[in-house]
A and B are shown apart, each in its own frame.
Chain A
Amino acid sequence: MLPPSPVEVEAFVILSFVLFVIGTLGVILRKNAILVFMSVELMLNAGNLALVAFARQWSNIDGQLFVFFVMTVAAAEVAVGLALIVAIFRTKHSINIDELHQLEG
């Protein structure tokens, strides 16, 4: 068990909530596929921050390990996602997500 954090862990959770909401707004409002992607990264980071805060609260390092895994998967996801964006740009000459609706039912 660690001594209590000098800053309340709740403050970190609230901050991560705020960052998550901003990221969500980015996903909803932006039309640029790259910016949507960056907003998703922001949401992942907000989740990571909450996980680290809870790991600190419980003195349990498992939360930090989950952040480690999330980071790894996020790195893979970014590589694939950006490759897809480049591929789409090559064929459609646009990355505006409103113009990408081939899969629309």
Chain B
Amino acid sequence: MTGLFIIVGVVAVVAAVMMLLSDNAVHSALFLILNFACVAFFYLMLDAPFLAMVQIAVYAGAIMVLFLFVIMLLGAETAESIVSVSAGLPGSRRYTMVAAALALILLVTVGFSLTGDTIDDIEPAANPLVQIVHGAATVNRADIELDGITIAENVIYGDVTRILEIAPGDHEVTVRDSETGEVIQSGTLAIEAPEMPNMVMTVLVYDTYDTLTNSGEATQVLTAFEQDLNAPTGDYARVTVFNGTGQPISFQDTGVFGITGDTAVLASDLAPGTSSEALLLDEGRYRSLRVVRPADENADDGAGQPLLTIPERTFEASSVVLMMVNAVPNTEFPTIRYSVTETLATFGSPQAVGYRLFVEYLLPMQLVALVLLAALVGVIVIAQQQVAPARQSAARRPVRRRVSRPLTSVITNQVAADAPDGPQLTTGDESAGD
């Protein structure tokens, strides 16, 4: 990677210098395009793929084509050669000294700023991201409020709100039944900026019961845990298991054939109300996933009584899934509910740039659009001023044209033009045939 950077960096600098030194302006423009392509490559290295494409399309495409067009139009390829710095205005030697001193100051400043404290030492403060999952089976539809503001209405069981960026600190989450409007559960959660990059705090409301056998009335509990919502690279799905039952559980994959030794324990001894680490599962169909008691977690298919054999499920690549193992009333055997959450946009991707652009920078973007509009009008005005004299001469031309020409001469000229081998008539009025 470093070698690639050095090669492309050298190409970029050489292209810039050649642009500066070329006598032919067309060559300069072509070298500048090469330089822009190198810069686009650096954007890719710096995790800015969207900007790299914009750089190619706008700079190397539109802007440089405009430059080349104007150079060709004006015939300004070799308008000048470089003049030496010393030859010039009277007193330029003094200016050269001043310029050299300023350049030295700039070099020293940049050198100090680059060799001083590294910027790695400073930790940027990030706001926590939060999403709220409706995981209470006994509540059909729920309205979810965050700090008194309704952020989602009629959320069905298993669905999730969109990811919100909030200030760190205490936040009040209220879940209401959409039909009756009564508060199911309300609580204050301390939400801090996550330790790990781009982790999202998932707030979950789920049902709990009195005893292990889940008898009695369901009460809803709010809980929060960190979830990795970055889309996994490669053909993997990122799966998090949440234990919403009243007993510890384990999560195992008995393999395709359930052969001894083929069993993989994906999550071991999850306490009630906790979530597993994010599991990276190969994409594809799964028929062998089971929820078992922790004592049976190494048992193969058939041995031990699984709490739940998970029905066939397809996990898609690059998806993030929350698997909620929920309690069922009056039995110790749980049920499962999936919540497919949105994934975080990759840094520098069009989604990430567009989201930020429309959420945080809408007004600047509108202003830039106005600037573009003003530039458009300005260019039209400038072009109009140039066209004006040409239009006057075009208006004068019909006056000079011979109008009272005999029709026969027009016809004979036309015949002559259609059949070049025919008898050539007077060629003094060539435009008449057109």
- By a beta-carbon cutoff of 8 Å, the part of chain A in contact with chain B is 1-2, 4-7, 9-15, 17-19, 22-23, 25-26, 29-32, 34-35, 37-39, 41-42, 45, 48-49, 52-53, 55-62, 64-65, 67-69, 71-80, 82-87, 89-90, 94-96
Asked whether A95 lies within 8 Å of B46 as measured between CB atoms, the reply is no
Q: Which A residues are in CB contact (< 8 Å) with B59? A: 41, 45, 71, 74
Asked whether A64 lies within 8 Å of B353 as measured between CB atoms, the reply is yes
Given A5-B46, A6-B2, A42-B19 in contact, is the A13-B114 Cβ separation under 8 Å?
Answer: yes
User: Which of B25-33, B204-212, B293-301, B414-422 interfaces with chain A?
Assistant: B25-33
Binding site of A, secondary structure by majority: helix, strand, loop or mixed? helix
The contact sample of 10 A-B pairs, CB cut-off 8 A, is: A5-B45, A12-B46, A41-B63, A42-B16, A64-B50, A65-B361, A72-B368, A89-B76, A90-B386, A94-B79
Asked if B104 CB lies within 8 Å of chain A CBs, one says: no
Asked whether A61 lies within 8 Å of B347 as measured between CB atoms, the reply is yes
- Pick from B12, B80, B360: contact of A31, CB below 8 A: B80
Given A57-B119, A60-B124 in contact, is the A34-B25 Cβ separation under 8 Å?
Answer: yes
Q: Which A residues are in CB contact (< 8 Å) with B352? A: 61
Q: Which A residues are in CB contact (< 8 Å) with B340? A: none
Asked if B348 CB lies within 8 Å of chain A CBs, one says: yes
What's the nearest-Cβ distance from chain B to residue A33, in Å?
A: 8
Asked if B375 CB lies within 8 Å of chain A CBs, one says: yes
Asked whether B386 lies within 8 Å of A86 as measured between CB atoms, the reply is yes
Asked whether A64 lies within 8 Å of B348 as measured between CB atoms, the reply is yes
Asked if B82 CB lies within 8 Å of chain A CBs, one says: yes
- Pick from A5, A49, A79: contact of B379, CB below 8 A: A79
Interface string of B367-388 (1 = CB under 8 A from A): 0100110111011001101100
Please measure, in the bound complex, the distance between the C-alpha atom of A69 and the C-alpha atom of B12, giving whole angstroms. 23
What's the nearest-Cβ distance from chain B to residue A52, in Å?
A: 5
Binding site of B, secondary structure by majority: helix, strand, loop or mixed? helix
Asked whether B74 lies within 8 Å of A15 as measured between CB atoms, the reply is no
Q: Which B residues are in CB contact (< 8 Å) with A2? A: 47, 197, 347
Given A2-B197, A29-B85, A52-B48 in contact, is the A68-B357 Cβ separation under 8 Å?
Answer: yes
Please measure, in the bound complex, the distance between the C-alpha atom of A86 and the C-alpha atom of B260, giving whole angstroms. 81
Asked whether A69 lies within 8 Å of B364 as measured between CB atoms, the reply is yes
**Which residue of chain B lies nearest to A93 when distances are taken between CB atoms in the complex?**
B74
Asked whether B2 lies within 8 Å of A31 as measured between CB atoms, the reply is no
- Pick from B110, B124, B353: contact of A58, CB below 8 A: B124
Interface string of B385-411 (1 = CB under 8 A from A): 110000000000000000000000000
Asked whether B80 lies within 8 Å of A30 as measured between CB atoms, the reply is yes
Asked whether B73 lies within 8 Å of A86 as measured between CB atoms, the reply is yes
Please measure, in the bound complex, the distance between the C-alpha atom of A105 and the C-alpha atom of B386, giving whole angstroms. 27
- Pick from A1, A52, A87: contact of B382, CB below 8 A: A87
Given A82-B66, A87-B385 in contact, is the A22-B20 Cβ separation under 8 Å?
Answer: yes
Asked if B184 CB lies within 8 Å of chain A CBs, one says: no
Asked whether B32 lies within 8 Å of A41 as measured between CB atoms, the reply is yes
Asked whether B51 lies within 8 Å of A68 as measured between CB atoms, the reply is yes
Please measure, in the bound complex, the distance between the C-alpha atom of A75 and the C-alpha atom of B55, giving whole angstroms. 11
Please measure, in the bound complex, the distance between the C-alpha atom of A96 and the C-alpha atom of B2, giving whole angstroms. 42
